[in-house]
Structure formats: structure tokens, C-alpha cells
Amino acid sequence: MDGFWVGSSFSASASLLNISALLLLLLPLVMGNVEANASECDMFTGRWVLDQSYPLYDSASCPFIEREFSCKKNGRPDLEYTRYRWQPRECNLARFNALKFLKKFRGKSIMFVGDSLSRNQWQSLTCMLHSSVPNAKYNITRVEDVSIFSFTNYGVKVMLDRNVYLVDTVMEKIGRVLKLDSIEGSKLWKGIDFLVFNTWHWWNRRGPTQPWDYIQIGNTTLKDMDRMVAFERALTTWGKWVDANIDPAKTMVFFQGISPSHYNGSEWYEPGAKSCVQQKQPLSGSTYPGGLPPAVAVLKRALSKIKKPVKLLDVTNLSLLRKDGHPSIYGLGGRTGMDCSHWCLAGVPDTWNEILYNFIL
């Protein structure tokens, strides 16, 4: 210990250097004990680290995983993409504990509402839960557009409402009308304990895959309009529904955030890459070179207008860093397709669910 004090053998500057070195050695030990506190820690700024204790489950042994997310079953030879853990800069995420989750939420329901990215997260959570309690009885049922995964021993329901715009698409005489001010589908969301919403993936669809013919805004019916303006108007309609219908004492509301795609390698300093195929590692560091998609700012602006509490799962940046996490040619389309929008399971959506877990426990 004498070396840390000023004495005949040590100058003041040397002592300060020794103290600094000691603090640097101790800092990881101190931070290692700091678990995420949702009200105090920024869980969305950090980096991806290899962790051999991951993945949380083997996708090949998850009996109900859909083909489009099951990259391992579809022949993806590299598995390193399953072994990355998200490390926030200022704290550690509590590791997902399925048994603790099921016991705490006995008799409760959680519903994901949105497009196929919501299905991606829903499938992730059901696999995370099943893998930890593989002998627990479960049922998978479907009622209209709602898929229900129930753990019967615990009375826990993990549900998915496929609703790509949140607002309504209605068949009328002129054709299919996307109504930006109508949200009748919300009747399915009442009485749920935890709601996780998402929309963005379909807002720029055009041509044969566009599921509407006209857009109605107020009393005006249009053939088309600025899609970003339409997106924000729909979010405003949804936000008004939240304010009018959600009792924060009974229901927690989350928004999944904007899940990004990787089709342009110039965004990550690899201009020769025209897709995510053969990408095997995340980007290092905490910042995506290509920046955030404009939809993020629109979403945050819309959320800021909602009076009731809505927690944003701000997964965009951490997901942007995972150019390696997509199915590419190991998804639904196989080698004739290229999926750089959805995510392999096990993989990135498991982290979305770990962050959700840290918020709600």
C-alpha cells in the first residue's frame, strides 16, 4: 500500500497514476454489480459482447418456431450470431429468468400488437419461456387475428395480434381503404395487462404487396400521400386511444421501436455489400455509421404527445449494429430470397425481450 502514498520513493504524480490505475481495475468490478434500473439506466446505449453462456435457448429444440426465423434449422452454418449479449454502458441487464417471469405474472396476459416484427418478438419470448420450463403444459390457439400461447399451469398468456398499421383497413365500394383516424381493431387490446405495440414495416409498401388502395384522412380520401405523414397521423390516432382507454394502474404499455433492415453495406462502411448475406459479426462500438432511420424521430415525436405512460423499447440503434442477425438466405424464401429485415432466432429479439423483462420486473 506504501506505493499509493507520497514518500521518499514516490512523486506525487506517480502516486496519482497508481491511484488512477487502481480505479480502472476496480471500476469493472463495481459496475458488474450494477443491474439495470429502468428509471435510472440507459439500457439502449452500449455494445455487443461475445458471451458463451448465450443463446438463452436452442432454436432447433423450440417446437413451434416458424420457419422464417429458424435460421439454424434452415441450414445456417455459423452460430456465433447467437452468442452475443447486449451490454449497456452504465449497468448490466438482469438475465432473463423464465421461471421468475411465469411466477410473477401468474394469471396475467401480455400481447404483442403489430406486424411480422411483432411476431418475431412474440416467437422469441415463447421460445425463451418454453426452453426453461420444457415440461410445463402449453396450448397454442388462434382466435381471428390473435394467436394465443398459454402456459396452463401458470395462467400466463403470451398473445399476438397481427395488425400491421394499428389503424384500420376497411373494404368499401371503391376498394380497400386505410383509415388513419379509425382504430376499431383496438377492441382486442382491452383487458390486457401488458401491451407491446409496433408499426412501421409496412408503411412504405407499394405495388402488389400494398394491402390498401386508398388512404382516408379526416373526410378526405386520397390515392396516396406522403407515407411518413401518414405514419405519424396513425401514431397520433393510436396515442389518442391510449390516453382515452388505458388505466396505468392496470395496464403497462410499450412501443417496440423501429426495427431496422440491412440492405445497403455503404451504411456500415462496406459499400460492396448489397445485403446482409455472409455477415457474421456485429459492428463494434455503440454507434451505427449510417445513422438512425427518419421514422425514429417521427415515432418519438408522436410518443411525446401521449399523456399516459408509454415506455419506448428503443431498440433501433442496438439492432442496427447487428448486421449479422438476419436470416438472409436462411429464411422463408431460402436461397431464392433475401431477408435482411427479420431476425434469426435465437438472436436479436431475445435482447428486446430481456430489456422488456428488465422494465417489467
Residue 246 has pLDDT above 80, yes or no: yes
pLDDT at 258 (0 to 100): 97
pLDDT band at 229 (very low <50, low <70, confident <90, very high): very high
Active site residue 20: no
- The catalytically annotated residue of 116, 124, 275, 319 is 116
Interval 96-155: pLDDT, tens = 999 999 999 999 999 999 999 999 999 999 999 999 888 888 999 998 889 999 999 899
pLDDT band at 242 (very low <50, low <70, confident <90, very high): very high
Residue 33 has pLDDT above 50, yes or no: no
Q: What is the mean pLDDT of the chain?
A: 89
pLDDT at 333: 78
Burial class (CB in 10 A: 0-12, 13-18, 19+), 139: exposed
Q: Say yes or no to pLDDT of 279 above 90.
A: yes
Q: Where residue 6 falls among pLDDT bands split at 50, 70, 90?
A: very low
State the catalytic residue, choosing from 59, 201, 342, 350: 342
ω into 294 cis (within 30 of 0): no
Among 9-13, 43-47, 225-229, 265-269, where is mean pLDDT lowest?
A: 9-13
Q: Tell me the torsion sign for CA atoms 146, 149, 152, 157.
A: negative
- Residue 201: active-site member: no
Structure confidence at residue 189 (pLDDT): 97
> What is the percent of the chain with per-residue pLDDT over 70, rounded to a whole number?
89
Exactly one of 275, 339, 341, 350 is catalytic; name it. 339
d(CA 165, CA 217): 14
Give residue 195's pLDDT: 98
Mean pLDDT of 288-316: 97
pLDDT tens profile 153-166: 899 999 999 999 99
Q: Which cell numbers in the block locate residue 337?
A: 430470397
Q: Please say if 339 is a catalytic residue.
A: yes
Q: Tell me the pairing of strands 109-114 and 194-197.
A: parallel
| Residue count of the chain | 361
| pLDDT (average), residues 235-252 | 97
Q: 108 to each of 36, 95, 146, 151, how far by Cα in Å?
A: 23, 21, 16, 11
